[in-house]
Structure 1
Amino acid sequence: MLLHILLTALLLAFTFADCNAGTVSKNEEGTGQTAFSADWLIKRAKAMSQSTFQPPDAVSFDAVSRLTYDEHRDIRFLVEKALWRDKKLPFEVQFFHPGWVFRHPVRVYEVSGRTTREVHFTPDYFNYGRNGRTSRSSSGLGFAGFRLHYPLNDPEYLDEVIVFLGASYFRAVGQGQHYGITSRGLLIDGKRNGEEEFPLFREFWLERPLPSARHIIVHALLDSPSATGAYTFTVHPGTDTVVDVSATLFARKDVEKIGIAPLTSMYLFGKKDSRFDDFRPEVHDSDGLSIVTGTGERIWRPLANPPKTRVSVFLDENTRGFGLLQRNRNFTDYQDLESRYEQRPSLWVEPLQGWGKGSVRLLEIPSDVEYNDNIVAYWASEGVFKKGEQRSIKYRLHWCLDPPDRDKGGEVAVTSSCRSDLPGARRFVIDFHKGQLAGDAENDAEAVVTASAGEISNIVVQKNLPAGGYRVFFDLLTLDHKLIEMRCFLKRGAVRLTETWSYQWTP
C-alpha cells in the first residue's frame, strides 16, 4: 500500500480562513420530491452503489479551471451574503468558489422542516479582486465547498468552525485553536489502474438550526468507484469541537480494506532531526499516534519523517480510541510566529459502537516541505468489504488540545537515541513524565523493554527530578536486522505507571 503525498493544495486550501461568503437562492427543488431525511439519503446511497460510478463533471470554463493558487485565493465571498445571516441564527454558512485544484463542484441544499432548497451558485456572492474577467462568465458553476461559522471565541463574532472542501476532506477547530489536522469521509486502501482512489462528497444537505441551537447537522452523499455512503455530521462547537459521525456504506465491488475515520496530518521534523537547516526547533501538526486498545492498554508511537514510506499496523479488537496528537504546547518548542504549531489541535477518534477485529494503521511518508500532509492514521476492519455489502459505523471526533480520556498514567515526553559504547548497538533514551509520575516520591520504577528482533541490554531507570518523572536508558544490539519494533513501559510491582512507548527502528 502506498498513498501519494497529498497535494499541497489540499492543505493550503483551508488557509482561506480570512475569505468571506454567500447566500441561499430561493428556488425550490423540483416539486413532488420526497422530503429529505437521513433514511432517504441511505436509500439513495444504496441505489447509487448498484449502478456504475460516474465521474463528477469538472469545471470546463477556462478562466476558472486555469486559476493559479494566488488567483483563486483572491476570490473572496461577501460576508453579507452568508446563508442565514438575515435570520440572525447562531450558525452561518459561507461558500468556496471553484477553481485551481477544486474543479469538481458540489451541490448544497438547505433543509428547513419538510422544505429542501438548493443553494445556487452566482458570481454576485463573490468579490473577484483582480480576476475581473473571470467574474463575467462564471454563472452556474457550483460551489467547491463550504464552511460553518459560530461564535466560538467571542459572542459578538462568528468564527470559522469547520470546513468541507476537496474530495471528502473536512477539518475543524475548537476555542483558541488554529487549523491543522484533517479528517475525511473514507479511505480506500489500494490502487486502481495505478492511481489512488479518493472518495468524494458529491452533495450536502444543511439542516437550518434553531435560534437557540448549540449544534448543527450536515448530511453528505459520498461516492467513489468502489463504494458509496450516506453520512450525517453533528457538529458541536466549543472548547473542544466535537463532531459525531454516522455513516452507512455500500460496496460497489470487493474492496480489500476500507479506512474508517481516516486522519491526515503533517510531521516534518522534531528537535532531534538534523536533516533540516531551519531556525525552528520543530515543525509538525502532530507529534505522535495515541491508541487505547480494547483491553485498555495505552500506546504512544512518536511520529517520524522516514527516508522511505513505512506502514505500522496495531492489531486490536474493539479499539476504545485512537488519534494523532500534538502534545508539545509551548511556543518555544516551535518558534513560529505565523503557523503557531503549539495551537494546532489534536484529533481523537472515539468509537460509538464496537468495531470488532481489525487494526489501527499508521502511514508515514517522506516529505521535505511542511505543506505536504505526510501522515495518515485510520481504523481498518478485518475482512473484505464485499460487493453489495452494507456497513454502518458511528464514531465521535474530538478536535482538542488534550484528548478527552487522558488518564493519570505517565506519558512519553521525549524519545532520543545515540551511539552506544557497546559495539554494534544503539542507545535509546525515553523520558516519561506527567500523571502520577509528577508527584511520585518513590524511586523504584521498573522498565519493561522488549524488541521484535535483536537484543536489549543495559536497562537503566533514573529519577528525573527536573522534569518530574523518570528517564529510561537501554541498548539495542541490532544483529543486522533491517526493521525492529520496540516497546517500553514503567511499572511498580504489578501496577503499570505509564503508557507503552512503541517505536520502529530501521538501522
Structure 2
Amino acid sequence: MQRRDFLKSAIAIAASSFPAFDLFAAPPFAPGQRFDYAWLKGYARSLSGLPYTPPSRDIPASLANLSYDQYQSIRFKPEHSLWADKNLNFQMQFFHLGQGFREAVRVNEVVNGISQPLAYNPSMFDLSKSGVKGRSLPKDLGYAGLRVHFHSDWNADFAVFLGASYFRAIGTSKQYGLSARGLAIDSGMNKPEEFPVFTAFWLERPSPTAERLTIYALMESASISGAYRFDIAPGEPLTMDVDAALYPRKPIERLGVAPLTSMYLFGENDRRMANDWRPEIHDTDGLSINAGSGEWLWRPLNNPTAVRVNSYLDENPRGFGLMQRDRNFDHYQDDGVFYDRRPSLWVEPRNGGSNNWGKGAVQLLELPAPDETHDNIVAFWNSATKPMPGQELLFSYRMSWGERMPVVAPLGRVVATRTGMGGVVGQPRKYFSWRFAVDFNGGNLAQLARDAKVEAVIWSSRGKVEITSARPQFEVDGYRAMFDLKPTDDSTEPIDFRMYLRLKGQPLTETWTYQWVPPPPDQRRF
C-alpha cells in the first residue's frame, strides 16, 4: 500500500468513533503496549478498512519438509512453560512451526493492562528427534499455536489453539475429539471456503487463586477481521465464555458463527463405509438443537455420498451442539482412541441488547469421508441478514465441552437410530421400502403404564409412511418407534422426516429429524 493511501486510511479511522489508538505510535505488538478488549476491537475494526495481507507461510525448508512423525516428535520443555515460576493455577506451552503449520502467530502476555510480546527461542523445544538444528532457525520465527495446562494435572493440556482459527478442549475424560473455530465463511458452497486465521494472542496473567483464564485473539481473513475473548474454566463440563466482535471487509454470503467441526464415518444408522472391524467410528453421532420456541430437535449424522447442507430455521436459538450420546465402549471396541470418551460440545447464545442472534438458521454440513482422519461434519449459526462492510457484529455465547451438558431436554431423547430393509418378516415383499427404528429414553417414558396409548407422530416430505408402531423397549428404559417409507416416485432427492412420541396430545420426547436418500430405481431390490 502506498504511503498516501495509508495516510488517508489513518485519517478516516481517527475521525471515526472507534476506540482510540495511535497508528503512528508504537506498533500494536511492541513492548509496553496498553491492552484491553476495547483496544483489540478497535484495532480489528481498523484492519477491516485496510487492504488484507495474508499471513506469511514462508518457513525454513528444514521445518516445511518434516514428516508427520518428525513434527510430532518436537516437544515443548515444561520447565519453559509460561508462569511455571509464578505458582499460579495455569501454565501455557507453545507449538513449534513445521509441516502443515506454517503461519506464525504473535503471542503476548498481559499484566496489569500492559502487553509484552513473548519471544521465540528454539531452546524451549526438544528438537533432537526431528533432525532440525535449533541454532539454524531465525530468532523471530514465532509459534504455531498454544496449549493450556491446569494445576490438577500439569502433564496434560486441556485446551489447544492451533491452525487457522481452530481450537478444542476436553472435560474430565481427558480425551480430545471434535474442534471449534472462530468463524466459518462460505462453508459448503459452490466456491472455495475461506478460513479466517487467529494471527495473534494475548494471554492475561491470572491471579494466584484464579480458576478461570482469559485469552484474547485477533482474527483476520480476506472478508473479515475480528476480536475474540475467551474466558476458560476447566471442569466437567469445561466452559468457554466467548465474545466475538466482527468487522466485514466485504459482503459475505454465508457467515458461520460458533462453528463446530467433527468426524462421522459410520454408525448404527449409516453403514455405507462400515468396512472396519470396529462396529462404529465417529467423534459425534448427532446434532442437538434447542430452538427459540423451546422445541428440542435431534438429527443423527450421516456420511453421505455427496455434500449435504441442512438448515434449521430459527429465531434467537437457545442452543445447539454436536453430541456424542453413545457412551458404550462395546459399541466402538476401540481401545486406542476411545471414541466412547469423546467430548460433546454445546453452544448456548448469551442473548441480550445488541447481542440478540435474531433470525437465521442452525446449518449442518455433511461431507463424504473415506476414513476417520477426515473431519466431515460442520455445524454453525447463520444469520438471515447478510454481513456488509462497515458493520460491527457482536456475538456472545458459552461453549461447554465434556460428557455432561449443562442443559438437556426435559423430555425423552433419542438414543439410537437404525435403518434397513422394510416389509413384514415372513411375508413376501411386493415392493421396495425402507425401515426406520428409533429408540427413546428419559423424561417420563420409563414411568408409563405398559398399556399407555403412546403414538408416533410422523411427517415425511415425500413417499408413503406405513407399518408404524410405538412400543415399550425395556432394554433402554424407554420406547421404540418404527415405520417404513415406501418411495412413490423415482427421484433420488433426499427425503426429510420428523417424528416424536406423544400421549393424549402431549409430547413425550424431543423431535427426531432425519434425511434419507432413496436409491436409484434400478437398485430398489426387495
Q: TM-score, normalised by structure 2?
A: 0.87
One-letter amino acid matched to 2:186 = D
**Which moved further from structure 2: 457-466 or 79-88?**
457-466
Structure 1 counterpart SS, 2:444: helix
**Runs (4+) of structure 1 moved beyond 4 Å?**
190-194
TM-fit CA distance, 1:238: 0.7
Structure 2 counterpart SS, 1:102: coil
Q: Tell me how far apart the structure 1 counterparts of residues 253 and 109 of structure 2 sit (CA, whole Å).
A: 36
Structure 1 counterpart SS, 2:416: strand
Matched, 1:220 2:217: yes
8 Å CA contact 2:256, 2:381 repeated in 1: yes
Query: Equivalent residues in 2 for 1:268-347 (5 A)?
Result: 268-272=265-269, 273=271, 275-347=273-345
Structure 1 counterpart SS, 2:475: coil
1:489 matched residue in structure 2? 500
Query: Equivalent residues in 2 for 1:120-159 (5 A)?
Result: 120-138=119-137, 139-152=139-152, 154=153, 157=154, 159=156
Q: Tell me how far apart the structure 1 counterparts of residues 184 and 375 of structure 2 sit (CA, whole Å).
A: 15
Q: Tell me how far apart the structure 2 counterparts of residues 319 and 172 of structure 1 sit (CA, whole Å).
A: 23
Decide whether aligned partners of structure 1 residues 63 and 192 sit closer, same or farther in structure 2, where only a CA change above 3 A counts.
farther
Q: Tell me how far apart the structure 2 counterparts of residues 380 and 261 of structure 1 sit (CA, whole Å).
A: 9
Query: Equivalent residues in 2 for 1:105-504 (5 A)?
Result: 105-138=104-137, 139-152=139-152, 154=153, 157=154, 159-189=156-186, 195-272=192-269, 273=271, 275-353=273-351, 354-421=356-423, 423-442=431-450, 443-480=452-489, 481=491, 482-504=493-515
Residue-pair matches, total: 476
Q: Tell me how far apart the structure 1 counterparts of residues 33 and 49 of structure 2 sit (CA, whole Å).
A: 21
Q: Tell me how far apart the structure 1 counterparts of residues 202 and 209 of structure 2 sit (CA, whole Å).
A: 20
TM-fit CA distance, 1:333: 1.3
1:11 matched residue in structure 2? none
Structure 2 counterpart SS, 1:63: helix
Percent of paired sites with the same residue: 44
**Which moved further from structure 2: 392-401 or 65-74?**
65-74
Decide whether aligned partners of structure 1 residues 57 and 192 sit closer, same or farther in structure 2, where only a CA change above 3 A counts.
farther
8 Å CA contact 1:253, 1:387 repeated in 2: yes
One-letter amino acid matched to 2:350 = L
Q: Tell me how far apart the structure 2 counterparts of residues 236 and 133 of structure 1 sit (CA, whole Å).
A: 36
One-letter amino acid matched to 1:370 = E
One-letter amino acid matched to 2:389 = K
TM-fit CA distance, 1:195: 3.2
Q: Tell me how far apart the structure 1 counterparts of residues 192 and 437 of structure 2 sit (CA, whole Å).
A: 41
Structure 1 counterpart SS, 2:274: coil
1:39 matched residue in structure 2? 38
Decide whether aligned partners of structure 1 residues 502 and 34 sit closer, same or farther in structure 2, where only a CA change above 3 A counts.
same
Q: Tell me how far apart the structure 2 counterparts of residues 89 and 411 of structure 1 sit (CA, whole Å).
A: 42
Structure 1 counterpart SS, 2:467: strand
Q: Tell me how far apart the structure 2 counterparts of residues 376 and 385 of structure 1 sit (CA, whole Å).
A: 20
One-letter amino acid matched to 1:148 = V
**Which moved further from structure 2: 464-473 or 139-148?**
464-473
Decide whether aligned partners of structure 1 residues 192 and 50 sit closer, same or farther in structure 2, where only a CA change above 3 A counts.
farther
8 Å CA contact 1:175, 1:240 repeated in 2: yes
Structure 2 counterpart SS, 1:85: coil
Q: Tell me how far apart the structure 2 counterparts of residues 322 and 333 of structure 1 sit (CA, whole Å).
A: 25
Partner deviation per Cα, 1:170-189 (whole Å, 9 max, x = no partner): 00011123000100100111
**Gapped regions of structure 2 (runs ≥ 5):** 1-27, 424-429, 519-526
1:48 matched residue in structure 2? 47
Partner deviation per Cα, 1:406-459 (whole Å, 9 max, x = no partner): 133111122122222362322221111223212323532111000111121222
TM-fit CA distance, 1:132: 4.2
Q: Tell me how far apart the structure 1 counterparts of residues 239 and 187 of structure 2 sit (CA, whole Å).
A: 30
Q: Tell me how far apart the structure 2 counterparts of residues 123 and 307 of structure 1 sit (CA, whole Å).
A: 45
Q: Tell me how far apart the structure 2 counterparts of residues 420 and 239 of structure 1 sit (CA, whole Å).
A: 42
8 Å CA contact 2:494, 2:517 repeated in 1: yes
**Gapped regions of structure 1 (runs ≥ 5):** 1-27
Decide whether aligned partners of structure 1 residues 71 and 297 sit closer, same or farther in structure 2, where only a CA change above 3 A counts.
same
Q: Tell me how far apart the structure 2 counterparts of residues 115 and 232 of structure 1 sit (CA, whole Å).
A: 16
2:8 matched residue in structure 1? none
TM-fit CA distance, 1:133: 4.1
Q: Tell me how far apart the structure 1 counterparts of residues 228 and 333 of structure 2 sit (CA, whole Å).
A: 39
8 Å CA contact 2:91, 2:148 repeated in 1: yes
TM-fit CA distance, 1:460: 1.4
8 Å CA contact 2:173, 2:402 repeated in 1: no
TM-fit CA distance, 1:348: 0.2
Matched, 1:506 2:521: no
Q: Tell me how far apart the structure 1 counterparts of residues 359 and 158 of structure 2 sit (CA, whole Å).
A: 34
Structure with higher Rg: it is: 2
1:15 matched residue in structure 2? none
**Which moved further from structure 2: 299-308 or 186-195?**
186-195
TM-fit CA distance, 1:80: 0.4
TM-fit CA distance, 1:299: 0.5
**Which moved further from structure 2: 109-118 or 38-47?**
109-118
TM-fit CA distance, 1:194: 5.0
TM-fit CA distance, 1:193: 11
One-letter amino acid matched to 2:319 = G
TM-fit CA distance, 1:29: 6.2
8 Å CA contact 2:268, 2:417 repeated in 1: no
One-letter amino acid matched to 2:265 = L
8 Å CA contact 2:33, 2:115 repeated in 1: no
One-letter amino acid matched to 1:305 = N
Q: Tell me how far apart the structure 2 counterparts of residues 101 and 132 of structure 1 sit (CA, whole Å).
A: 17
Q: Tell me how far apart the structure 2 counterparts of residues 76 and 190 of structure 1 sit (CA, whole Å).
A: 34
1:20 matched residue in structure 2? none
One-letter amino acid matched to 1:349 = V
Decide whether aligned partners of structure 1 residues 195 and 473 sit closer, same or farther in structure 2, where only a CA change above 3 A counts.
closer
Decide whether aligned partners of structure 1 residues 447 and 29 sit closer, same or farther in structure 2, where only a CA change above 3 A counts.
closer
Q: Tell me how far apart the structure 1 counterparts of residues 144 and 212 of structure 2 sit (CA, whole Å).
A: 23
TM-fit CA distance, 1:479: 1.2
Partner deviation per Cα, 1:194-224 (whole Å, 9 max, x = no partner): 5321000010000000110000000000000
Partner deviation per Cα, 1:257-298 (whole Å, 9 max, x = no partner): 210000000011113516432221111100000001011111
8 Å CA contact 1:424, 1:479 repeated in 2: no
Q: Tell me how far apart the structure 1 counterparts of residues 275 and 511 of structure 2 sit (CA, whole Å).
A: 32
**Which moved further from structure 2: 87-96 or 62-71?**
62-71
TM-fit CA distance, 1:34: 4.5
1:17 matched residue in structure 2? none
8 Å CA contact 1:257, 1:384 repeated in 2: yes
Cα RMSD, aligned residues only? 1.8
Q: Tell me how far apart the structure 1 counterparts of residues 507 and 266 of structure 2 sit (CA, whole Å).
A: 31
